[in-house]
Each structure stands twice: as structure tokens, then as C-alpha cells.
Amino acid sequence: MDKKIKVCHFSSVHNQSDTRVFYRECAWLANDFDVTLIAIGKLNTTINGIKLIGIPKPVSRLKRILHTTREVYKLAKQENADIYHFHDPELIPFAWLLKRKGKKVVYDIHENVTESLKDKNWLPLKRLFINLYLRFDALAARNFELILAEQSYTKVYQYRYPNKQTTLVRNYASNQLFKNFINTNREVKNNRINLFYMGSIDEQYCCKQMLEALAILNKNGIDANLKMVGWIDPHIQQQMKQWPFMTAIKDKVQFTGFMDVQEGYKLSVDCNIGLSFVSDNLNVSQSLPRKMYEYMHIGLPVISSGHLLYKNMVETHALGLCVNTNTAVEIANTVMAMMKSGNYLNTLAENNLHAAQTHFNWETEYQKLKELYLGMI
């Protein structure tokens, strides 16, 4: 039997159970390659054919940049892999060192980094950091294979580097991963509705508007409940104490904190509608979050922001409804309209499953990743 090509994924930001890195990429690659994942976490073992090497979570951004990146590079170098695949822009200089040693390197671009930097309130001298990033990005384009996680990024990179070939590997969900959470009976009964949200709980993803909409629904006599699965921004957590409507919904909202994707989606099975809203920041408004694809794969009708990218997908495939503005009142009104639609919610659930299985499945995206790897050796 031929020896498998050895692949090492490494990250100084993502955790070991990251949905794209672990469940989509590494889990599928392990069927065809010898796979190692170095990422934030405590596990040092082999799971489903993936060798996991854990890195302690850094206590600050500065420590991550100055220390964690070097530790990740040191461990990656020791693996002596045929292909190195990294996921964070801060690792570009270290990936370049691997390239200098004759290694094949892939840079997986998860977001529009320049737009993301503009939206980071904690970052001083934003223009300076954006220019610095663009220099590193150009270094990456000259030396690495580039994978783009979102269709909209292709225009950005075609403009920056007209002669650079990139590979689009979108964040579609896997039928296999979500099959245990499928439910097409989403009709609201007895005036009780369960709403579901998976993802970061922060200002960028309109957490205040979702919570205030929950308060409005209950004020209107609806037994509305919201499950929020994800990391909570500490700043937002402090602000919540000052929001006057939070007292009224303290028993109506469930904050689980960060959960593994499969554990989190167990909570969605008895929910009627999934929520997915984003601010006007270009990084998020021009990128479809993975939760949109995941809701599809479990048959969960969605209410989303009305940005053109979202609107086109939701309306083309009849997945749910979009709001024109991310206001609490409009979100609440849209929930009430969907509640009154009767078994149409079940039809929307079927539409979501059909779209997932015919247009938005990870199986087709994985083939592009596999072919890229094979073409590099």
C-alpha cells in the first residue's frame, strides 16, 4: 500500500473542534491523507484518524501574537509534513519559513481580513495595521496556494492579484454531520415558539436586537423562547445588565456558552425558527455565515438580514424570510408572521433540506480541496 501524503493543519486562533477546520476539512481529509491538526485545545490524541496536538488558549491577544504563533510553528515544523495548511493571517511569516524549507503551503482565508480589521473597536492605528496586513497578504499570494472560504472573496483577490489562481472551498455543511438533527415538523403549536441561534453573541451579529425582539414577542402574549449557543463577548455581557428588557426575558433565553457543533445542534431539534443577522460591516454582510448552511441541513426555517447576498439565497430557495432592517420590532413582527403561517413552516423546512442536499453540500467542496492537494505533490 502506498504511503499516504502527510498533511498538517495548524492554527493559533481556532480551537480543535472548529467546524470548518476539524469537522469539514480534517475529518474528510483523514479518509485520504495522513492528517495532523495543531490548534487551541487540551487534546493530545488521535480521533477519527486525525492526530490532534493541543495548544493552551493564550490569555491575551498580545501573547497569542508573540508566543502562541511561535509555539504552533515549532510544533508544525516537527511534523515534517508534505503539505502545510494554515488558517490565520498572523501565521503568514511562519508559513513562509516552512515554504523556505521546501514545503508545500496552503493559506485558508476564512474572512475578508481588511474589512474585519476596520470593525475591531479595540484596534488602534487601523490604517497602519491594514497596510501591514496587505504586505503579508501579498507575501502569501506569491508563495502559497490560496483557498477562499466565500464566493465574494474571489473578486477581492482577482482585483489584488489578477494572475493568481485561487481555489474556492465554501463553508457548506455536511449531510453526514447534521443528519441526526433533522426535523421537518417545525409548525408552531399552542402559541409557544422556540427560536434558535448558533454563533458568536456580539454586536456584529445583532445580539441586542434578537434579545429585544424576544421581549417584544412575550410582551405581546406569545410564549417565545430563545436558545443562544456560542461564545459571548465579555463587553456585551456587561452591557446586558443595563438593558431594561433583560429582566422580562431572564427565564426565556438560554445562554449555553461555546459548545461543540454537534452538542449545540442537539438543542435545535425542538426549535421552530433559526435566526441569522449581521451588521453592515462588509466582512460579514458580504459573507454567508456557516450557520445559514447548517440551518439548511437540519431543516430549520430562517429569518435573516436583508443584505443582498442573504436575500438572494433565502428567497431563491424559499428558506424563510428576510428583514429589511435589523431592528427588534421588525424581527419580532417577522416571527409573528411566520407563526401564523401554519404548516408553511414545515414546507420551509423541506425547502431547506432540498437546498442543502442539491446545492449547498460539503461533499462537492471537499473534492476541490482534495484535488488541490493532489495537484501540489
For the stretch 168-178, pLDDT in tens is 999 999 998 99
The residue with cell 415538523 is 185
Superfamily of domain 176-358, CATH level 4:
Glycogen Phosphorylase B; (3.40.50.2000)
- pLDDT at residue 255 greater than cutoff 50: yes
Record the cell numbers describing residue 197, joined without a space: 441561534
Q: For the chain, give the number of residues.
A: 377
Give pLDDT, residue 129. 85
Lowest mean pLDDT among 122-136, 149-163, 263-277: 122-136
Please check whether the two domains, 6-172+362-376 and 176-358, share a CATH topology.
yes
- pLDDT at residue 114 greater than cutoff 90: no
For the stretch 267-298, pLDDT in tens is 999 999 999 999 876 566 677 889 999 999 99
Record the cell numbers describing residue 227, joined without a space: 436558545
Domain 6-172+362-376 has CATH 3.40.50.2000: yes
Lowest mean pLDDT among 129-133, 135-139, 247-251: 129-133
The SS3 assignment for 92 reads helix
**Torsion 16-235-237-173 (CA) sign:** negative
The residue with cell 424581527 is 331
- pLDDT at residue 120 greater than cutoff 90: no
| Mean pLDDT for the stretch of residues 13-39 | 96
Domain ranges (residues) in the chain: 6-172+362-376, 176-358
| Mean pLDDT for the stretch of residues 121-127 | 75
| Mean pLDDT for the stretch of residues 65-74 | 97
- pLDDT at residue 182 greater than cutoff 50: yes
To the nearest whole number, what is the mean pLDDT of the chain?
Answer: 94
First-to-last alpha carbon distance for the chain, in angstroms, is: 18
Alpha-carbon span 191 to 339, nearest angstrom:
8
- pLDDT at residue 1 greater than cutoff 50: no
Give pLDDT, residue 134. 92
Give pLDDT, residue 125. 79
| Mean pLDDT for the stretch of residues 43-60 | 96
4: left (phi over 0), alpha (psi -120 to 50) or beta: beta
**Torsion 161-135-105-199 (CA) sign:** negative
Q: Where does residue 105 rank: exposed (0-12), middle (13-18), buried (19+ CB within 10 A)?
A: buried
For the stretch 186-230, pLDDT in tens is 999 999 999 999 999 999 899 999 999 999 999 999 999 999 999
Alpha-carbon span 207 to 9, nearest angstrom:
32
Provide the pLDDT confidence category of residue 75 given band limits of 50, 70 and 90: very high
Lowest mean pLDDT among 16-20, 121-125, 221-225: 121-125
Alpha-carbon span 216 to 376, nearest angstrom:
55
pTM of the model: 0.91
